[in-house]
Amino acid sequence: MNPYIPIVGLSALAALFVLVMVGLNLLFSPSRANRTKYETYECGIDPTPQAAGGGRFPVKYYVIAMLYIIFDIEIVFLYPWAVSFDELGLFAVIAMILFMNAVLIAYYYVYRRGGLDWD
């Protein structure tokens, strides 16, 4: 038996599921078109020819983006470490503890500065 048959079967099942759900949505969803529905929406700021504050965006958006990147990189390092934890020695454990401390210090700094407040 070909080992790719289950993968092809699941792909076909997923494609069928997507097509059925899109078809059901087109058949049963209410169609209430209005101006607000077709307006662009970006980051909670109303779209205008001139950005709010004379072309400046609030720093909050950039802080959130940087936090996302920091924690995304953290997961990129943590996942392979966790998978091969049994084969790693004491050096890898100490290195990961130092890495986690650096990330937690950055998180605490942002928390104390109010970077996570949505006001």
Greater model confidence, 10 or 77: 10
55: left (phi over 0), alpha (psi -120 to 50) or beta: left
Over residues 22-72, the pLDDT tens digits come to 999 999 988 787 877 777 766 666 666 665 556 666 677 777 788 888 888
Q: What is the pTM of this model?
A: 0.46
SS3 content of the chain, % helix, strand, coil (to 5): 60, 0, 40
Dihedral pair phi/psi, residue 42, rounded to 5°? -135, 110
Beta bridge mates, 45: 42
Phi, psi values for residue 47, rounded to 5°: -70, 125
Q: How many residues does the chain have?
A: 119
Q: Which residue has the tokens 């169609």?
A: 31
Number of helices and strands in the chain (H, E): 3, 0
Residues 6+ apart with CB under 8 A from 57: 43, 45, 51
Summarize the confidence of residues 75-85 as an average pLDDT: 85
On the CB side of 24, CA atoms within 13 Å amount to 6
